[in-house]
Structure 1
Amino acid sequence: MRSTETKLTAVSRRGFLAALGGLALSPAFARTPLAENLTQSTFEGEGQLFASAYKKTSGHYGIGLLDEFGQVLAEIGLPGRGHGVAVSEDRSCLVAFARRPGTFAVVIRAIAPQDPELITAAPGRHFFGHGSFSADGQLLYAVENDFHAARGVIGVYDLTGAGVRRIGELDSHGVGPHEMVMAPDGKTLVIANGGIETHPDKGREKLNLATMAPSIVYLDAETGDLLSEHRLDAALHQVSLRHMALDGDGHVWVGGQYEGPAHDTPPLVAKFTMDGAPELLEVPGVIASTLQNYIGSVAANKDGSVIATSAPRCGQTLFWDAQAGAFLGSQRIIDGCGVAPIDQGSFLISDGNGGLSIVDDPGTRADIIARSPGYAWDNHMSALTG
């Protein structure tokens, strides 16, 4: 019901912003000043709220909280470069993850009066930049690298106590797990194993491009049992399956990044279900040849009827009819990568030059609604409210 949604939006916005108040004294964040521009009107607003990692020209990293007009309302300093932000279903908690091969994540609780908490990856593990919550918000699942064994794992964290506890891990049944979503049933994790072996001693070097084997797997979130596994044809084994979003029917849309010859133009967008064969989506040739074989983010609009896939290397964001799988068009946004739904049919898109653009319809031109000098928005953006 709409009245419930409005109440949740108001509480969530106030809560997330108010939760920043105690960060300034937290030793873990002492090097990066926080929440410098909050006002009473900021807390009282009932508009939408979004989060994206940033880097400032000063060299500081953090998470920016933005309204639907693209204005930065507050900042959350991070110890290093951030990547993705996971948001609980009830909007009461968010977690910002370090970019691979980072070893930190920051938990921010919007309702409970607790300072944000810094999580450090377990020995022999590092984060891959993404995570997901259990349906009830009590557990956090984080994609991680068991780099000694060259295998992917899903770290399981208990959020119910006074402090976050790592209580175990699940096998991702692949190498290099990247993004992960909770299926609509609230019981199944869907994981994109990118297939690329890395080791922190080698930085971001890719160690197995000739033999990489990406996959999409469905896991029982409680037991870790493998429910289903999908791979593309052998000829496409160098399409690293990376980012994903759920459409309105619960189908999983995945964007790929191709590690093969630059002159190839393999399919980079696919749709998956637990039991069916992958459906590869076709990008018109004139556009496909410009994508530089890289999809950066995947997001659905609020009713899941339209999917957006950003291609920042060529400055294009592509749009798809979720049900038919048809290509709807593209919009040019220079270095645009982070994508989030802003209302029933529109998307907010962030770029590496500090800009925020809105696309009201795939067939209409993107409009720049704000530009924040000194900011470079990172690859992803998450809707925190509404």
Structure 2
Amino acid sequence: MRSMVTRALPLSRRSLLQGLAGLAVTTLVPGGVALANAKNTRLFQTNAEEPLFASAFRKADGSFAFRVMREDGSSVFEAPLPDRGHSAAWHRETAKLVAFARRPGNFAMYVNGMAGDGPVMFTAPEDRHFYGHGVFSQDGKVLYAPENDWVHKRGVLGLYDMTGARPHRIGEMDTGGIGPHDILLSPTCGSLVIANGGIHTRPDRDREKLNIDSMLPSVAFLHPQTGEIRARHELDPSLHQLSLRHMAMDGHGRVWVGGQYQGDKSELPPLIASFTLDGTPRIHEMPQQIKAQLSNYVGSVTASGDGEVIVTSCPRGGKILFWNASSGDYIGAQAVADGCGVAPLDQEFFLISDGSGGLRFAEGTSEYLELTAQVPGTSWDNHLISL
């Protein structure tokens, strides 16, 4: 493991961010949505000095909501959710945001940040449900949302027209597997990349896993216009119970995927792999003593702003792991109890959220870790995204 040197976050940057947060002025529009007092009507004003983040969370009274926030947890926008949320899709140029229900939930919330409108709720068809993730087309006109076609035991991408006031489902694509979970759009190869978790479930059986012995996870590369499966990768058959779930793309065009092992709990399989359209999947190993602490479970996966560091959270083991994207090597780990949401803060720093309302700064190549906020009564959900 490469040596680590503790380095403090520059005080000038911290002071600047705190000053900006203190001076922020908001006005209320009908429905209670806070609009930034700026020259245009964009709901989410993002800039390098005051980055914004978004996460689903549970309140102290047990209700659920979704928040766009500053790095200290203070709210820029907040809306209630009918049940537990999971993650969100964000299109920066058009300021469109869609927050999804946690599987097997069947609701999503759309906010048009450019228009400054209040949230619009929509659902997948009755014989489908969302998996908690989605991605916009490059121009922001189409939303691709992984869905479960449980009747036919297959995964699909629901295609939603996002050009009107309400999302409108216009079709679907086969994902080439069961249980499609996370999705991203690769600028490197121009493909949609889907992590098919391989687990068959039905909403009438809640989150029960119905095919553990025969599950077959995969990562598929699809043409975004035609749905053609350009490539479909599986790991070694000995890893067929490693459900491939969450993804991030590094600065070299490789897609890093975290797994959640469904086999014998006494086994310690590799949990991280990376993929390209045409290449052979690569397994990324970590020290055995670290692996033994993770309960065979990876939560979120993200990349630094420059794509040179990959972060994988392991909330059940209370660890955040860091990886060198160029070499593929494990760099080190930080202890964060129930830390799962991870998002890039800038080129080198990350923001980590946890189930106790904590938000922390971390630096991927050092031992730097700082609790920056503790939001009372809040439990951040699994994923944190940068806006």
The two structures share one fold, judged by TM-score above 0.5: yes
Which of residues 126, 130, 135 is equivalent to 1:127? 130
Find the counterpart in structure 2 of residue 49 from structure 1: 52
Find the counterpart in structure 2 of residue 199 from structure 1: 202
Please say if residues 217 and 234 of structure 2, whose CA atoms lie closer than 8 Å, have aligned partners that are also in contact: yes
Find the counterpart in structure 1 of residue 314 from structure 2: 311
The one-letter code of the counterpart of 2:272 is: V
Find the counterpart in structure 2 of residue 233 from structure 1: 236
Secondary structure of 2:134's partner?
Answer: strand
The one-letter code of the counterpart of 1:23 is: G
Secondary structure of 1:235's partner?
Answer: helix
Which of residues 371, 374, 377 is equivalent to 2:377? 374
TM-score normalised by structure 2 residue count:
0.88
Find the counterpart in structure 2 of residue 175 from structure 1: 178
- RMSD (CA atoms): 2.1
The one-letter code of the counterpart of 1:256 is: G
For residues 165 and 36 of structure 2, what CA distance do their matches in structure 1 show? 29
Which of residues 17, 26, 29 is equivalent to 1:21? 29
> Please, which runs of 5 or more residues in structure 1 have no aligned partner?
1-12, 25-33
Find the counterpart in structure 2 of residue 103 from structure 1: 106
For residues 198 and 285 of structure 1, what CA distance do their matches in structure 2 show? 32
1:157-198, Cα deviation, whole Å (9 max, x unpaired): 001123211000000110000000001158410000000000
For residue 361 of structure 1, report the CA deviation from its aligned partner.
3.6
For residues 45 and 346 of structure 1, what CA distance do their matches in structure 2 show? 17
TM-score normalised by structure 1 residue count:
0.88
| Identical-residue share of aligned pairs (%) | 49
Find the counterpart in structure 1 of residue 362 from structure 2: 359
Matches within 5 A, 1:1-386: 21-24=29-32, 46=47, 47-90=50-93, 92-185=95-188, 187-384=190-387
The one-letter code of the counterpart of 1:80 is: D
Please say if residues 132 and 140 of structure 1, whose CA atoms lie closer than 8 Å, have aligned partners that are also in contact: yes
For residues 45 and 154 of structure 2, what CA distance do their matches in structure 1 show? 46
1:85-116, Cα deviation, whole Å (9 max, x unpaired): 11114251111000000010011111124332
For residues 372 and 101 of structure 1, what CA distance do their matches in structure 2 show? 28
1:248-299, Cα deviation, whole Å (9 max, x unpaired): 1121000000000111110100110011111000011110111100000000
Whose helix proportion is higher, 1 or 2? 1
Secondary structure of 1:253's partner?
Answer: strand
For residues 95 and 20 of structure 1, what CA distance do their matches in structure 2 show? 21
For residue 20 of structure 1, report the CA deviation from its aligned partner.
7.8
The one-letter code of the counterpart of 1:90 is: E
Find the counterpart in structure 1 of residue 9 from structure 2: none
Q: Structure 1's 235 and 126: CA in aligned 2 closer, same or farther, altered over 3 A?
A: same
Q: Structure 1's 45 and 195: CA in aligned 2 closer, same or farther, altered over 3 A?
A: closer
> Please, which runs of 5 or more residues in structure 2 have no aligned partner?
1-20
The one-letter code of the counterpart of 1:367 is: E
For residue 39 of structure 1, report the CA deviation from its aligned partner.
7.9
Q: Structure 1's 367 and 85: CA in aligned 2 closer, same or farther, altered over 3 A?
A: same
For residues 149 and 325 of structure 1, what CA distance do their matches in structure 2 show? 38
Q: Structure 1's 136 and 19: CA in aligned 2 closer, same or farther, altered over 3 A?
A: farther
1:364-383, Cα deviation, whole Å (9 max, x unpaired): 14111000001000000000
Secondary structure of 2:131's partner?
Answer: strand
For residues 234 and 101 of structure 2, what CA distance do their matches in structure 1 show? 27
1:303-356, Cα deviation, whole Å (9 max, x unpaired): 100000000001100000001001110000110000000011011000000000
Please say if residues 272 and 278 of structure 1, whose CA atoms lie closer than 8 Å, have aligned partners that are also in contact: yes
Please say if residues 19 and 110 of structure 1, whose CA atoms lie closer than 8 Å, have aligned partners that are also in contact: no
